[in-house]
Amino acid sequence: MIIIGRTALIVFAHQERTSFNFAMKEAAQAALEKKGWTVLVSDLYEMKFNAVMSRDDIRGEPKEPSDFKYVAETLVAWKEGRLAKDIEEEHKKVAKADLVIFQFPLQWFGLPAIMKGWVERVFSAGFAHGLQTKYSEGPFKHKKALLSFTTGGRKPMLSPRGISGDINVILWPMQNGMLNCCGFKVLAPQISYGVMHVTQEARVEMLKNWEKRLETIWDEKPIRFLPNQDFENTTGGLVLKTEVEEANSADKYGPTVGQNLGKPLPPDSQLKSQGSGL
Ligand SMILES: Cc1cc2nc3c(=O)[nH]c(=O)nc-3n(C[C@H](O)[C@H](O)[C@H](O)COP(=O)(O)OP(=O)(O)OC[C@H]3O[C@@H](n4cnc5c(N)ncnc54)[C@H](O)[C@@H]3O)c2cc1C
């Protein structure tokens, strides 16, 4: 099936054109375009993307120059069209995108600094999240996103018995704290484990599998996160409703990696699509 009119944004972080990450980015672009997608790319090192939050992220005078608060100032600047030009350019790309793919090497169990900086500056207050518009009510609730990353560690190392620990725990801050927080429907991550340790044939197979997956990526169901209505406002902020906790009481596992209720983590819940589609 040819998809007409969908747009993908690939946010890409690797310095080298000879890298496996670059090959994954190229493969994604080609596979999506073949299916009729418009593909936008933010090649962060190539752009020399400024990854550092600062007062320069707003144009014009701050509202409170002697007590500058980044979130409050950028929120007002966003409303008034006074954010830095490079942030505005990235906002336009995100606004157009139905699907955002992050392609990167896992570094220190997370995003490379340049990509973390992109998230910090581009997923700005108002545009990407607000007090009333977070998680399942986030501004990007009609968009999908996925993390495609390579690791140095081989798969068993990133398991509950491995030295790096359970990959689901590593994924939770990025997939919940970043993507789900802004409302994205999060698709299962594409993880290319131990890319420098496997054979050339295995890497070629990884690229082929990625291209194949992308042919029908839009039809995939997202990973399950708890909806906002499962939480209630308390003096300590939003917490899980007692009735939701009680409904889980017979289950062996906690509901999610984060809302685990002190129980074993639901196995591979950050790796598998479980929820309903858009
Ligand atoms: C600061 C830092 C922190 C890190 N933290 C972690 C961590 O927390 N956890 C972890 O697991 N790892 C970590 N790593 C390792 C890192 O994740 C890996 O180095 C990275 O994932 C490798 O990806 P790459 O694209 O750079 O691979 P490359 O080394 O560029 O490529 C791997 C192999 O693929 C080959 N290749 C390139 N293109 C193709 C193609 N088209 N077809 C087939 N083969 C191809 C290359 O020639 C090479 O042999 C860290 C690394 C750094 C620098």
All domains in the chain, ordered by first residue: 7-223 (3.40.50.360)
Query: By C-alpha distance, which of 78, 73, 96 is closest to 10?
Result: 96
278 band by pLDDT with thresholds 50, 70 and 90? very low
pLDDT at 82: 98
Q: Residue 104 Cα, ligand 1 centroid: separation in angstroms?
A: 9
pLDDT at 132: 87
pLDDT tops 80 at residue 4: no
C-alpha torsion sign, points 71, 74, 78, 83: negative
pLDDT at 273: 85
Determine contact, residues 183/222, Cβ cutoff 8 Å: no
Q: Residue 87 Cα, ligand 1 centroid: separation in angstroms?
A: 28
Measure the CA–CA gap between 210 and 223, rounded to whole angstroms: 18
pLDDT tops 80 at residue 1: no
* Secondary structure tally for the chain: helices H, strands E: 7, 8
Measure the CA–CA gap between 75 and 249, rounded to whole angstroms: 41
Q: Residue 111 Cα, ligand 1 centroid: separation in angstroms?
A: 13
Measure the CA–CA gap between 174 and 182, rounded to whole angstroms: 11
pLDDT tops 80 at residue 83: yes
Which atom of ligand 1 is found nearest the CA of 26?
41
Measure the CA–CA gap between 169 and 63, rounded to whole angstroms: 39
Task: State the DSSP code for 222.
Answer: P
Residue nearest to atom 50 of ligand 1 (CA): 107
Q: Which residues line ligand 1 (CB under 6 A)?
A: 14, 18-21, 23, 105-109, 150-153, 195-196, 200, 203-204, 207
Rounded mean pLDDT, 184-204: 98
Rounded mean pLDDT, 95-99: 98
Determine contact, residues 117/50, Cβ cutoff 8 Å: yes
Rounded mean pLDDT, 116-138: 96
Query: Which residues make Cβ contacts (< 8 Å) with residue 170, sequence separation at least 6?
Result: 106, 109, 110, 158, 164
